Amino acid sequence: MIRRNFSPLVLAVSIGLAIALLGAIFAIIWSSLPQGETQLMPTPILTVIPAPTATLTPSVSPISLTPSATSTLMVGGTGNEIQVGVYVQITGTGGDGLRLRAGPGTENEPIFLGREAEVFLVKDGPKEGSGYTWFFLEAPYDTTRSGWAVANYLQVIASNEP
């Protein structure tokens, strides 16, 4: 059997070279890692926008609207009549709303549903159709909300003018 004797110097140099080699490998791996500042993700912020609240409207008692001899409608004997240029309010639908249509008559397509107490400007009318008197209404806040409505569910809004 052959016995080899390593001198302590050869052993120390071998260990030193091994440590240097491991250090070089570590340095190469370390340098290949991405450097720089870490990217922070933005913090999401939730903004809550409260829904608009309903505006209280004065309560009105339901009235009967009937055509007069001049085809305008008198409201409760106050002298206010539904005619072009006045503001009217939808009333008497029991909260169901009023269908505004493409033309004066029930055979015309409903365009949208006007809500109870919603205010409109009278732009045209009166016109007779399907046994009812109709007026063309337009919402003062949105001109795309316009159509023909039956006068039976409209009430003139009193004006402050003398």
CATH number of the domain residue 83 falls in: 2.30.30.40
Q: Quickly count: other Cβ atoms within 10 Å of residue 74's Cβ.
A: 17
Tokens 């409608």 map to which residue?
73
> Is residue 5 included in any domain, yes or no?
no
> Is residue 6 included in any domain, yes or no?
no
Strand order from edge to edge, sheet including 98-101 = 110-114, 98-101, 142-150, 132-139, 119-129, 87-90, 154-156
For residue 78, the SS3 value is coil
Pairwise CA distance, residues 87 & 83, whole Å: 9
- Considering its fold, how many domains does the chain have in total? 1
Domain hosting residue 135, numbered range:
73-156
Position 89 pLDDT exceeds 50:
yes
> Is residue 97 included in any domain, yes or no?
yes
* This model's pTM is above 0.75: no
Q: What is the mean pLDDT of residues 28-40?
A: 71
> Is residue 4 included in any domain, yes or no?
no
pLDDT interval class at 67 (50, 70, 90): very low
- Answer yes or no: are the C-beta atoms of 83 and 68 closer than 8 Å: no
> Is residue 108 included in any domain, yes or no?
yes
Residues 6+ apart with CB under 8 A from 101: 108, 109, 110, 111, 147, 148, 149
80 vs 121, residue with greater confidence? 121
3-state secondary structure 96-107: CCEEEECCCCCC
> Is residue 23 included in any domain, yes or no?
no
pLDDT for position 122: 95
